[in-house]
Structure 1
């Protein structure tokens, strides 16, 4: 029976082992690499890859010079670009180029991290949580993670960050030590019109013609950081069929979830999220039409909303695909049969799937109200985000480190402060739009008579409460936020700021639902997922890669197009194609800088290309490198077929979309005249 089910899984169309996987750098599939491509990376190659890779908030990047120059996507740096822009100088629309270090501008709220060391702490975590259930299990887990990270960071909190990383859903726990760069500055960003050429219609599609790139620089002690490991640029870039590697920080995949978890995600999580996101997209789209300033201040938000909606739609379509669900069911059944065939495993692990399934009943009951309260989906405003951060920090800092919420342990506080004291502008009118919408959705989802809705709104409408809160808040003032931070619980209690009062008022209810979700769902799922991971290890060891966890991974593949029906999609586009696609109207309007430079460009220069590398959201900004560790491209998207990549990899059509290294250099030289940057990148 077990063999039959495995054959069913393997025979389902699209199942492919080649190029599949987001691998941790301490457990690369050496035998597969050697067998498939005749390449086996050595210790120095792996070390250089790790130390040349950079983690950005929600994105990836790489060092590309010895002077701290970092390459990432334009959309990964768009928060910084927008925050540095004004109504008079719009760097989003006009682009930005610093021709010397003194012109580079500090990103108000951006921290970069470079992974430097990995330690297996599985036994430490298991000993701390052994025999515990529910809340006790979660508290013990939080406490041991606080202890381990504190010891890892030591006295260097400003430049060191440490995280305990859950791999294989609890099958392994590793301690990741990072070098923290808190001073990040904008160096170069092209116009958004070319960074996101084609807009939402072209998003997750190919052929593409995007220069989705930005250059940042990290500083230490007021000077560009001295970097010993970085990726040099390949001017020629890749050829069709050439091997490619993507190194980056894929956010989250769900390829090892149980069927019960996938069904919950399909029926509740994705449906709710897509409904809210679709409505918010319409609201923000209309708001942007009200004035040029509204269009500017809401631009980044709309990009994120549209991207999230299209990606979520692709994920839902995958979970609605009977063929995919049959494949997942066959794999799960085969693993359960394997466990049941071994008495020692059956006794210990046999009930894990059923325990997770029972926890999904609690998840369904708690999901919406927990999202609105603890998840703060009822309060979509930067003002509330700051207020909650201040309220919780005051409460948590007064506790022993091991007893705090994980986000406020000592090793996290430098990042919390950087975020809290950021000088990034907040736009009151846009905040009103977002908060009114989220309060309205709270009332719709939970119902007018729900106790939490009554507590928040009282006799006011969402619009009335929003005006009352935003018109009177002082939280836009960084100095006021510092006063509340330094004043602790007493200052928070005495504050008359309406957002501080709101955060205090909903804190008890929010923590209650957080605790229930941890006790009734997360702790049960975590404990039993650890058991299922042990079953996988017994079956196949660590020859299987873990789900993505926003930590550094390496994927391998090759430059290759795909067949779409009767059409063969070639792997490269060129500059000529960008001008052919130009209509002069948004979102297919090339910037004036491109029109002016057309006569100087090599129009046959490869521009964007696709590879078979296995990536997911969070890989944006990842470098593509070759066997020699040279930059051959910059990943910025996946194609439409990759949207189900959260759940599986289909080697027939899943593709990474990247900017060609030669195309980057061509544009920097002939369009943007970024000569100093070119010299820094090429050494010429």
Structure 2
């Protein structure tokens, strides 16, 4: 489709007032999209196990991607009831299946806490010390918010490294159920051949439902729970979009690397992307061969294989793109222009004159041990029991660091996530 609006990138909702959405074609008021003092479209959004979902009914019905429900469907499947491949539909609420391992996080509120985080490092120049102090400030702000309101889960996210920090407060729904999942041939139509490319013809959607206790508070799975009533839900337009329609995506994006230096891009192109792709290719071949011998094993390995394949396709596409447009070369020129800009200003040169040299030295250290570090990193992600052990050890380590007044809040807000990690092994 064509458009004339040149703004791009990921915008925190608190920043959308700075861009001219009306000029881009928005036909409703911007505060109907995001309104910190009232109900708006953002209240219909939900984070389902790390994926973006949307409420589409006043009874907690959620639409999300097929691949986002994949692990829960896999856990509900058996050789006798192979919902993963055959699909699943609940014709009544009573037939809905527990989506094991999935929770829903609903954004209750958020605020910019950049001044509070960065104020703690205003007089600190050493990068390692700054990073440690920033991380501690982020943790303490989240713990303070949870202590003030034990019903929420708080998290400080770094929107732009060293510049912008936002405190998110979430309500966590613990009881999520599968309502409809299409046949895998529909939900994964085109397989990895079509993955990460356009146009797509995949029926990449599933329906779930969020449940709470009768008093409206989050509760673990129970037949006594009732559907959650969201503040807002979306109405689906069966006609879809037409040419020149305004399209604006709300959701929970992962991350961006667009502000990283050339050395980071080179590290990705030369080491991380090819190494991970080859490793996951080997792992998948091994798991697929094992799965051919036993249906139950095939189902247990399905989520792991799918995740690996998803990353493989993504990384190989990135590799091709990086080389095709010579992004390393482009970023090298950008960094050279930045260095010249710094050196042309006496004050900037005094403060940042060694910046590029320091970055280069750091990446020489990183690249010197790159294969060792990548191998150690994959040990935990590739070995479930080691990963669980690491999570338990990390949980205990964080708990031990906290003052007595914060231990109970931390334990209560994180123990369920730890148990879910264990249960998925």
Structure 1 length-normalised TM:
0.55
Q: 5+ residue gaps in structure 1?
A: 1-15, 427-684
Partner of 1:418: 417
Partner of 2:119: 127
How far apart, CA to CA, are the structure 2 residues paired with 1:412 and 1:325?
44
How far apart, CA to CA, are the structure 2 residues paired with 1:322 and 1:210?
29
Partner of 1:304: 307
The answer on 1:23 being equivalent to 2:15 is: no
**Could you tell me whether the CA contact under 8 Å between 2:380 and 2:386 is conserved in 1?**
no
Corresponding pairs, count: 405
Shift of 1:40: 7.1
**Could you tell me whether the CA contact under 8 Å between 1:112 and 1:182 is conserved in 2?**
yes
Partner of 1:393: 395
Shift of 1:238: 1.0
Partner of 2:296: 293
Which of 147, 152, 177 lines up with 2:145 in the alignment? 152
How far apart, CA to CA, are the structure 1 residues paired with 2:395 and 2:380?
21
How far apart, CA to CA, are the structure 2 residues paired with 1:423 and 1:252?
26
Shift of 1:256: 0.9
Structure of higher CA gyration radius: 1
C-alpha change, 1:345 and 1:320, in structure 2 (3 Å) is same
Shift of 1:78: 0.6
Partner of 2:366: 363
Secondary structure of 2:156's partner? Answer: strand
| Structure with more contact order per residue of length (Cα contacts < 8 Å, sep ≥ 6) | 1
Deviations 1:56-75 (A, max 9, x none): 23321111112211110111
Partner of 1:618: none
How far apart, CA to CA, are the structure 1 residues paired with 2:410 and 2:424?
27
**Could you tell me whether the CA contact under 8 Å between 2:21 and 2:30 is conserved in 1?**
no
C-alpha change, 1:218 and 1:413, in structure 2 (3 Å) is same
**Could you tell me whether the CA contact under 8 Å between 2:59 and 2:230 is conserved in 1?**
yes
1:103-122 equivalences in 2 (<5 Å): 103-122=95-114
Deviations 1:596-632 (A, max 9, x none): xxxxxxxxxxxxxxxxxxxxxxxxxxxxxxxxxxxxx
C-alpha change, 1:49 and 1:340, in structure 2 (3 Å) is farther
How far apart, CA to CA, are the structure 2 residues paired with 1:328 and 1:313?
20
**Could you tell me whether the CA contact under 8 Å between 1:146 and 1:409 is conserved in 2?**
no
Supply the RMSD in Å over aligned alpha carbons. Answer: 2.8
Deviations 1:170-209 (A, max 9, x none): 2112212222222211111111111011212222334432
Partner of 1:189: 181
Which of 138, 141, 157 lines up with 2:134 in the alignment? 141
**Could you tell me whether the CA contact under 8 Å between 1:146 and 1:401 is conserved in 2?**
no
C-alpha change, 1:33 and 1:268, in structure 2 (3 Å) is same
How far apart, CA to CA, are the structure 1 residues paired with 2:408 and 2:323?
40
Which of 333, 337, 340 lines up with 1:334 in the alignment? 337
Partner of 1:263: 266
The answer on 1:354 being equivalent to 2:357 is: yes
Secondary structure of 1:75's partner? Answer: helix
Shift of 1:422: 6.5
1:625-644 equivalences in 2 (<5 Å): none
Which of 196, 200, 204 lines up with 1:212 in the alignment? 204
C-alpha change, 1:414 and 1:244, in structure 2 (3 Å) is same
Partner of 1:494: none
**Could you tell me whether the CA contact under 8 Å between 1:181 and 1:219 is conserved in 2?**
yes
Partner of 2:347: 344
Which of 230, 248, 253 lines up with 1:245 in the alignment? 248
Partner of 1:76: 68
C-alpha change, 1:235 and 1:204, in structure 2 (3 Å) is same
**Could you tell me whether the CA contact under 8 Å between 2:178 and 2:209 is conserved in 1?**
yes
C-alpha change, 1:64 and 1:143, in structure 2 (3 Å) is same
Shift of 1:19: 5.8
C-alpha change, 1:318 and 1:387, in structure 2 (3 Å) is same
Shift of 1:125: 1.8
How far apart, CA to CA, are the structure 1 residues paired with 2:107 and 2:381?
34
